[in-house]
Amino acid sequence: MASFRYTPYYCEENAWHLCQHERLRGLERRVVFVSNALRCCPLWFQRASPDLTEPVLWDYHVLVIAREQATWQVWDLDTRLPCPLALPSYVEATFGPPHVIPDEFHPRFRVVAPKPFIATFSSDRSHMLDEDGAWREPPPPWPPLFAEARGMNLMRFVDMEDDFIGEVMDRGGLLERFGG
């Protein structure tokens, strides 16, 4: 994994670079944003969790899926699970049993093809600044993926109610489309 650009807490930028990486370039790929109306999704087996038995509650998360032969594999640089991992195995381990999690915490997924994602995504990293203007987490060493003409649009990808690029689906829809 050392050859991938990675900075903790900047999953959207990690995914932007990952979906263009030479290891995945020849594969069918999608960028997947994970969130919900509460902006509070429990994800297990994340590096940010000090305890593997407890989930991290992310406001959003971003990962890449890529099809190798007939199987969609999840590339999540923040997971402690194997990477890549078959999508059904990743979903089961990362999002837990659906009947145990209250409905309002169930994730929704915005699935975007890499070309429109790369062409559209723009973040000035302002969401990572606290009220005093200090970084909540250290930023990546590369420049922000920001285009003045597009403005800061990260939260449009995260907002599952926004009629923006990509297709929004629930867990069942994601598994039906990419899990088999």
* Active-site annotation holder among 17, 19, 76, 78: 76
Of 41, 61, 78, 106, which residue is the catalytic one? 61
Cα 169–chain centre separation: 14
Please, which residues have CB within 8 angstroms of residue 106's CB and are 6 or more apart in sequence?
A: 36, 95, 98, 170, 171
CB contact at 8 A, 98 and 107: no
| Cβ contact 139:127 at 8 Å | no
d(CA 15, CA 25): 13
User: Is 76 in the active site?
Assistant: yes
Mark whether 61 is an active-site residue: yes
Q: Which of 56, 32, 5 is nearest to 158 (CA)?
A: 32
Overall size of the chain counted in residues: 180
Among 11, 17, 41, 106, the active-site one is 11
Q: Do 11 and 63 contact (CB within 8 A), yes or no? A: yes
Q: Which residues does the annotation mark as catalytic?
A: 11, 61, 76
